Structure 1
Amino acid sequence: MIVQSMDFARALQVYVVQGIGLFYLFMAYKILKRDKGNLNYILSSFFLSVGIGVIINMVYANLTIQPVVYLLHFITYYLFCFAMVFLLLFLALLLKTEKIITPKKQLIIIGTYGILLGGLWFIPGGITINESTDWKPVWNLPFFWYSIILCSVMVIIPTVILSIKVYQKIQHAPLRKKWLFFIVGISAYFFVYYGTSLSNTLNDPDFRILWSFLTLPTLITTYLVYYGLTQG
């Protein structure tokens, strides 16, 4: 069988919660339409990476060709994680300017993170996704901890710190308020990252259902990230 049916929790997660991520593609377009400067290219790369990841996820969610599903799941997760480095670079450039964070340094940061993130592929038994798992991704602990430690240390913690520093530098009250929306937005994105990683590792049916509903409020954060960044 090439196409499968899916349970309610997975359908909710894939087509509703993550499906809203298609809006990221529209936001990437809006950002580039405003201005094609380096900052906007970096910012739009975040939205573009997530949007492409969402599309791939929706494509493979109904497939039952094991090698294809395995590869597409990995690419989806890779893009969701890889997208975060563009938020980090955007904030670093806001604070340090391109004279300090040169294009060469930007490429080094992106390349280093991308290569290290690719190390997930080589973890033995890192991902199991086949008929025995009902075509839901199940991760082992080495895969989980490698991802959590790498993403937290290299991008998530620095991004949170830099976003707070930007907030502290903003003097105009309305802009400070808008920047708080951005902080809430990225916090929700990181929340989804940690929760989804935990859900795939625990592989508990009840937790998967609970997590599907917990992520519903994150729908609004798609716009909060865009609103806070483009307006602030």
Structure 2
Amino acid sequence: MKNQYLIIFSVLYSIFLILLLYHPENITISVSTNWNPIWKLNILISIILISLGCCFIPTIAVSIIIYRKFRLKILKKKFKYFIIGIIGAYMTLYGAIIAYSTNNSTIILIFSFTSIVNIVWALFIYYGMTSNL
């Protein structure tokens, strides 16, 4: 039963994303935009909401369920690092989506420099899952 649920969920998620990207009038790519995609606001919001509902929220919910099953304090502490790293990675992803959809070179440049924090999120995930277990 769980496998069927996961398959249905994955297929519906894929269909939603394909339908969003299928309409060419929602995305503009041309010489005038310096070959950067310009998304219409309703599609940008839809993509963010669908990915929040289908990726971010289930990841956090499952992580909390797993966290509550741990009995050892050291495992709980390490798993907190993992959850913080995952949340940070998702926030960087959503920041990139929003920054690049603005098509403002200053915002993109600032976001590019602040993306160095990805190293911190990767270290949190590493320490949460593999370091000294």
| TM-score between the two structures when normalised by the length of structure 1 | 0.50
* CA displacement 1:122-161 (0-9 Å, x = unmatched): 2343222332222223211122011011111222123222
Deviates more, 1:198-207 or 1:209-218: 198-207
Matched, 1:187 2:87: yes
Work out the percentage of aligned pairs sharing the same amino acid: 30
Report 1 or 2 for greater relative contact order, CA contacts < 8 Å, sequence distance ≥ 6.
2
1:188, distance to aligned residue in structure 2 (A): 1.6
| CA shift in 2, pair 1:192/1:126, >3 Å | farther
Aligned equivalent of 1:46: none
Aligned equivalent of 1:146: 46
DSSP 3-state at the match of 1:215: helix
Give the partner amino acid of 2:77.
Answer: K
1:230, distance to aligned residue in structure 2 (A): 5.7
1:209, distance to aligned residue in structure 2 (A): 1.0
1:216, distance to aligned residue in structure 2 (A): 1.0
* CA displacement 1:37-67 (0-9 Å, x = unmatched): xxxxxxxxxxxxxxxxxxxxxxxxxxxxxxx
Paired with 1:227 and 1:128, the residues of 2 have a C-alpha distance of 41
Matched, 1:169 2:58: no
Cα RMSD for the two superposed structures: 2.3
Give the partner amino acid of 1:151.
Answer: S
| TM-score between the two structures when normalised by the length of structure 2 | 0.82
Preserved contact between residue 139 and residue 200 of structure 1 (Cα < 8 Å): no
Aligned equivalent of 1:160: 60
The ranges of structure 1 where at least 4 consecutive aligned residues each deviate by more than 6 angstroms after the TM superposition are none
DSSP 3-state at the match of 1:125: helix
Give the partner amino acid of 1:120.
Answer: L
1:104, distance to aligned residue in structure 2 (A): 2.1
Matched, 1:211 2:111: yes
Aligned equivalent of 1:6: none
Matched, 1:122 2:25: no
Paired with 1:200 and 1:215, the residues of 2 have a C-alpha distance of 13
Aligned equivalent of 2:100: 200
Paired with 1:123 and 1:226, the residues of 2 have a C-alpha distance of 39
Paired with 1:221 and 1:206, the residues of 2 have a C-alpha distance of 24
Give the partner amino acid of 1:170.
Answer: F
Give the partner amino acid of 2:39.
Answer: W
5+ residue gaps, structure 2, are none
Give the partner amino acid of 2:115.
Answer: T
* CA displacement 1:10-54 (0-9 Å, x = unmatched): xxxxxxxxxxxxxxxxxxxxxxxxxxxxxxxxxxxxxxxxxxxxx
Number of matched residues?
Answer: 132
| CA shift in 2, pair 1:182/1:132, >3 Å | same
5+ residue gaps, structure 1, are 1-99
